[in-house]
Structure 1
Amino acid sequence: MIVQLSDIELTARTLVMASQILVILLGFTIVYIAFQGYRRNRSRPMLFIAVGFTLIIGVQAISAGVYVVFDVSELAAGAVSQAAQLSGLICILYALRMEG
């Protein structure tokens, strides 16, 4: 059975994919800037911010790819993504509470 997408559905999917790519690019830009701040000043908080954003953005991008390429259940991919996001947020919170 061939599924036909309407122009509106195709446009919506394209916009969602474009926004996801933009979020990933901005996230990795933050990671790069934070890591450069760590290297320049040996600031441990900046290192934890870089690690946190890497966990949030990187694992999200990887899990989306794994979900599409391999036959992984949506629940398993979501659980891994959620755990990575939680870990990343804990790293960022730790960095914000840490004394430089």
Structure 2
Amino acid sequence: MSSELTVLAAYLFTLALTLLAMIMGFIIVFQAYRGYRRHNSRPMLYLAIGLALVTIAPFLLSVMFTIAGDFLSLGSFAFAYMLPILSRCAEIIGLGCILYSLYMQ
């Protein structure tokens, strides 16, 4: 019983940290998007998109895989390989958008 509570507490703590990081990322993305809207600056738009893919997308994927894993009985393959691959792809595309925003005219 005690180990189940420890696992549950660790899971809830991890979820809380994930949600906090996601909220902070969302605030940063929102500010970049406001900068785009205020100044009609395409680099700010790409910066907002890139930051969303780097900060929010991996967390959303993690939460979605965790929820879907319970309902769809996803095996360890999905968590060990598919989730990291999708997260890294989102981060790479996001970093590409950020780089593009820094170097575009």
When normalised by structure 2's length, the TM-score is 0.76
The Cα of 1:5 is off from its aligned counterpart by 4.0
1:84 alignment counterpart: 90
1:4 alignment counterpart: 3
State the alpha-carbon separation in 2 of the partners of residues 61 and 21 from structure 1: 8
Q: Runs of at least 4 residues of structure 1 off by over 6 A?
A: none
Q: Does 1:49 align with 2:55?
A: no
State the alpha-carbon separation in 1 of the partners of residues 2 and 9 from structure 2: 16
Unaligned residue ranges in structure 2 (runs of 5+) = 69-73
The Cα of 1:24 is off from its aligned counterpart by 0.6
Higher RCO, Cα 8 Å, sep 6+: 2
CA RMSD of aligned residues (A): 2.3
AA in 1 matched with 2:3: Q
How many residue pairs get aligned? The number is: 97
Q: Does 1:67 align with 2:65?
A: yes
The Cα of 1:12 is off from its aligned counterpart by 4.8
The Cα of 1:22 is off from its aligned counterpart by 1.6
Equivalent of 2:21 in 20, 23, 26: 23
The Cα of 1:6 is off from its aligned counterpart by 6.2
Unaligned residue ranges in structure 1 (runs of 5+) = none
Equivalent of 1:35 in 30, 33, 43: 33
Which structure dedicates a bigger proportion of its chain to helix?
A: 2
The 1:10–1:63 alpha-carbon spacing in structure 2 relative to 1, beyond 3 Å, is same
Identity %: 32
Give CA deviations for 1:20-39 in whole Å, capped at 9, x if unaligned.
22211111101110111101
SS of residue matched to 1:56: helix
When normalised by structure 1's length, the TM-score is 0.80
The Cα of 1:61 is off from its aligned counterpart by 2.5
